[in-house]
Chain A
Amino acid sequence: MTAAIRARGLGRRFGGVDAVADLDLDVPAGSIYGFLGPNGAGKTTTIRLLLGLLRPTTGEAEVLGHDVRTGAPAVREAVGVLLETDGLYHRLTARQNLDFYGRVARVPATDRARRIRALLEHIDLWDRRDEPVADFSFGMRKKLALARAFLHRPTLLFLDEPTSGLDTPTAVGLRQELLRLARDEGVTVFLTTHNLLEAEKLCDRVAVIRKGRRIAEGAPASIRARSRRSLEVTGAGFAPELVATVVGMPGVAGVRRENGRLRIELAEGGETAPIVRALVVGGAEVAEARVAGASLEETFLALLEESDESETGA
């Protein structure tokens, strides 16, 4: 599969600080690629570098086959963008906003009018098309900004936190729309998000970035698989001595109490049956015991923790 985005050793320095450093990216065409990281990790700077809005200090990147240093206008012409803020002109109406960006994107007049109508109807704003955007709610503006990003039928979408601030039905609708665009129309979506559940549901691949550096990359399932499995035991009678016994058992990496449950982290190859047996023999009343893989959120936090530890160690 060809890469819609390819970066090698991409970096940008501001003063003495690396906002992005040594970043490698391969985003397959037609995929939904999640870019995860805490605030200030370098997600927005990466998007700016890929759009040619900032010049890289090091490395190289290609977007849809265009070099971001020499072919930035071609990149910007081919992609659709929703940045951190909606970027809408609040003094202009919904229709005027879309018309302006449609003209900028060189969408022919008749097609533009049809497309604007279709998009505004799709997001339930057709009846309010001639009202200034200043009168719209946050959610309405976000939907309008997304419509603007789709307006010229780009083959690659950069979406910075597309669902933040949206109500649940709208966010679910948007996710379905993104999945449809990727599956049916082959549109590549590069999105940043704080919503790890969203990334897990939506993305074919994700990269985790921390202090400008990529610390993990792969399919959400493969990233989750890096975390330890755990045994969640619900019941009563988990006396401190019994917990201490479990901690000392082979195959147990750690034990935590969570809301009256025991969460026993398993080391690689750890067996669950001897642990449950030890709990029952030790006098605990075990109502339920189940093995759980780590969620992407837990894996994400663990990755950030590991990254911090390796930095402190260095």
Chain B
Amino acid sequence: MRDLLIVAQKELREIIGAGGGRRGMVRELVFVGIFGLFFPLSQAEAWRMGVVPAAFVLLIPLFLVGPHVADSFAGERERKTLETLLATRLPDAAIFLGKVLAVCAYAWAVTFLILVASLATLNVTGAGAPPDLPGFSAPDRGIFLYPAFVWAAWGLGSAATSLLLGAIGTFVSLRAKTVRAAAQALTIPIFLMIFGVSAGFPVVWRSLPEGTRDRLAAIAGTMSPLEFLVGLAVALLLLDAALLWVGVRRFRRDTLIAG
């Protein structure tokens, strides 16, 4: 565990230092600006209902994780630091999981900043607040907070989607010769995760037998948004665990050096 944290800390320092220190954080500031200011102001009522921010915090990590996870191994290979890292006593699992953990922690933290920024925007401006509904308050009626399922979407859901792309991305980066090749290869899973779910879900739904559809609809109907999100996140986390296990098993110093 200690080794994993040593690797993760180094990776985080590199992520934050990417592009030369403060300039490297411009990308994150743009994300905070778009998702924490622009969207909450332009769709304020929908953001106050919670469904939109919940969906965003599931998807935003995919954009944040992608570039850094592509860099994880392919970047080290390109910058010729990989072999020196592999020539240390660090266990394979610590190197592999440390890199995944770092990009996911980074995405998780930036997503949290976005969520907090959006809350600040809604509270400071009072945008989208119905004039006569307590709770959906303007600044003079106390602090507005998102419902619990939004926090669950961030706490569990964004961690799950970060880990999903982190595991897939690290796997791709291990095999790619360059960061560019890894980033190009990663566009497919990112595209599938973002658009495949929204476009594919209706297709899969229609293809199910009518009885199954009715049973699933009945189950979904009994679930609160919080229960639904926790269930979804747990299912994703199980998938993540399986992918990470495969990734660690297939991580081979010999193959990386010889390849």
Contacts and interface: CB of A to CB of B under 8 A. Distances in A.
Interface of A: 14, 48, 51-55, 73-74, 76-77, 81, 83-92, 96, 100-101, 103-105, 132
B89 A89 contact: no
A83 B257 CA distance: 13
Contacts of A55: 254
Interface stretch (B28-36, B80-88, B150-158): B80-88
B14 interface: yes
Contact of B85 (A48, A87, A103, A105): A87
A12 B79 CA distance: 26
Contact of A89 (B10, B88, B257, B258): B10
B89 A77 contact: yes
The 10 closest A-B pairs by CB, nearest first: A87-B84, A77-B89, A91-B17, A85-B80, A81-B87, A76-B89, A100-B10, A53-B257, A104-B88, A103-B6
Nearest to A91: B17
Contact of B13 (A48, A74, A92, A104): A92
Contacts of B89: 73-74, 76-77, 104-105
Interface residues of B, number: 25
A90 B81 CA distance: 9
Contacts, number: 72
Given A48-B257, A92-B14, A105-B88, A100 B6 contact: yes
Given A91-B14, A96-B13, A104 B6 contact: yes
Contacts of B194: none
Contacts of B88: 76-77, 101, 104-105
The main secondary structure of chain A at its interface with chain B is loop
B87 A90 contact: no
Contact of B18 (A51, A85, A88, A91): A91
B14 A87 contact: no
Nearest to A48: B257
A81 B86 CA distance: 11
A100 B13 CA distance: 11
Interface string B90-122: 110000000000000000000000000000000
Nearest to B92: A73
A155 to B, nearest CB: 14
A118 to B, nearest CB: 21
